Structure 1
Amino acid sequence: MRFLRYWFVELLRSRGAHSSAVVRPHGTEMCKELKTKVLRLLPPTSNGPSVQHEGHPDGAEVLRHTVKALKEGHVVAVPTDTIYGLACLAQNSEAVAKTYDIKGRNSQKPLAICVGEVQEIYKYCKVKVKEELLNDLLPGPVTLVFERSEVLNADLNPFTSLVGVRIPDHPFMRRLCQMCGEPLALTSANISSHTSTVAVHEFEELWPKLSVVVDGGPIGDQSRLGSTVVDLSALGKYRIIRAGCALSSTVDVLNRKYGLSEEPGED
């Protein structure tokens, strides 16, 4: 799989409130008081996979650290194909509440879920479009909104019967979801109403509240627009909820290829 071309090493940082950090076995840096692991994702080299640094954790070990943190009910920061995100297990009500607290997010604003494969969408959503449409848009910078199924945690967005679902075009995120075996709740890594982030230092004030921060480097797009959000809960129709970074290509698929008609929406 593509994610195997990625190797991970820790991000050694020592400044400000983090100056008292101690280095743990395997080279994982942890904030002494807050136990925040900050791990760096290295891209593959032009000649193949990045070289693993002696004494530092490899990709499988960093994934294990992140999965362990999620399974223990913590919130982590992760890179996606659009912006940096905060993630927790969607089926864990306490972790979902913690995510809202960390962001200072309005409790009436929904969180999306993130899965690793298209087939998993059918477990948590009631899909009214062709599977070919899903495969045309996902993985990619699009959030598709469907009616939620009864399997999804009732405490996640209890104020609506709908839920947005993502499969980021990012090998680390897809593998993380696969290893967790359940959906992640996903939202942008920033304080609510603040600008979306495309580098980990931009949300450094949130680090003390997170168990793991995965540094994937600057997000390539740099637009900060986030994913295009489209409501597909009505048969034969679509509604754009947020234009995002992939509006034109998304509408082209929905309208021209599959003949869905657009309902008035909001940006």
Structure 2
Amino acid sequence: MVKGRVLKLINFAGLRHMRSPASAMNGYVTKGVVIKSDDMCAIRQAANLLEMGQVIALPTDTVYGLACNANNPNAIQRLYEIKGREETKPVAICVAEFQDLRHWGKADHLPDELLGQLLPGAVTIVVNKSVYLDNPFLNPGTKKIGIRIPNFDFIRNVSKSFRFPIALTSANRSSEKSTLNVNEFEKLWSSLGAVFDGGQLGLQEEQRAASTVIDLSEKGYYKVIRDGVAGEHTVRVVQKFGFREV
């Protein structure tokens, strides 16, 4: 059995999909377990682990991501540790619906019509944090937060089940390329509460560019922070709504 904290998951199903470096006995699961994301209980299992403060890996509409509870200080610090990322370098959060985006971020100046043409999709919208996003270790030194609503049922359903914002960054060590299948970040498995395997996410190398990141925190203005996979479409949309480049 792999060393590490042992976790209890309720209604654990799909044990046939577990593979090294994980093992299970009597419903207890060690760190690093790989679970097929289409297993019956995978969504609830992922939400349980987030509630317990664990860092997990899961598929998105672009690349695989590392995820944790965005309002849990210990979980965020652990996320940065696993990623090997400087704590001053921002991470985004993932939510399920527009009302969640408006709850955790200050986005009243963004019309639903604009959001509806960008999300769900491979776009991270940067706005100012709301008072409800109160983790001092989440993007310290900035009032801004990037928010995603991925066009991928599994992570959106996990977000709905969890009910809180999910901190999200690509599943790779800092300075290494982003990943399109779970085997590409196998060296991180033993550090994670679980790995949710959604299969190969794409065959084109361009997909590793991940989401487009655009700052819409100032009414009427935009700034592209990362071009990503949806840069041209995103700029066309915001310009159509009268936003001007900073």
> TM-score normalized by structure 2?
0.88
Tell me if structure 1 keeps the 8 A contact 2:70–2:135: no
Task: Give the structure 2 partner of residue 154 of structure 1.
Answer: 135
User: Cα–Cα, structure 1 residues 233 and 221, in superposed 2: closer, same or farther, change >3 Å?
Assistant: farther
Q: Which amino acid aligns with 1:183?
A: P
- How many residues align? The count is 230
For the pair 1:227 / 2:211, whether they are aligned, the reply is: yes
For the pair 1:240 / 2:246, whether they are aligned, the reply is: no
Distance 2:120 2:16 in 1: 27
Q: 2:170 aligns with which of 188, 196, 220?
A: 188
Structure with greater Cα Rg: 1
Q: Which amino acid aligns with 2:132?
A: V
Question: Secondary structure in 2 aligned to 1:248?
Answer: helix
Tell me if structure 1 keeps the 8 A contact 2:18–2:33: no
Task: Give the structure 2 partner of residue 75 of structure 1.
Answer: 55
Percent identical pairs in the alignment equals: 44
For the pair 1:168 / 2:150, whether they are aligned, the reply is: yes
For the pair 1:116 / 2:100, whether they are aligned, the reply is: no
Tell me if structure 2 keeps the 8 A contact 1:77–1:210: yes
State the Cα RMSD in Å.
1.9
Q: Which runs of 5+ in 2 are unaligned?
A: 1-12
Tell me if structure 1 keeps the 8 A contact 2:220–2:243: yes
> TM-score normalized by structure 1?
0.81
Q: Which has the higher contact order (CA 8 A, sep 6+)?
A: 2
Residue 230 of structure 1 and its aligned partner are, at CA, apart by: 0.1
**Pairwise mapping of residues 1-267 of structure 1 onto structure 2 (< 5 A)?**
10-14=16-20, 18=21, 21-24=22-25, 30=29, 34-42=30-38, 58-59=39-40, 61-127=41-107, 128-155=109-136, 156-220=138-202, 222=204, 223-255=207-239, 257-263=240-246
Q: Which amino acid aligns with 2:162?
A: C
Q: Which runs of 5+ in 1 are unaligned?
A: 1-6, 43-57
Tell me if structure 2 keeps the 8 A contact 1:10–1:39: no
Residue 8 of structure 1 and its aligned partner are, at CA, apart by: 6.8
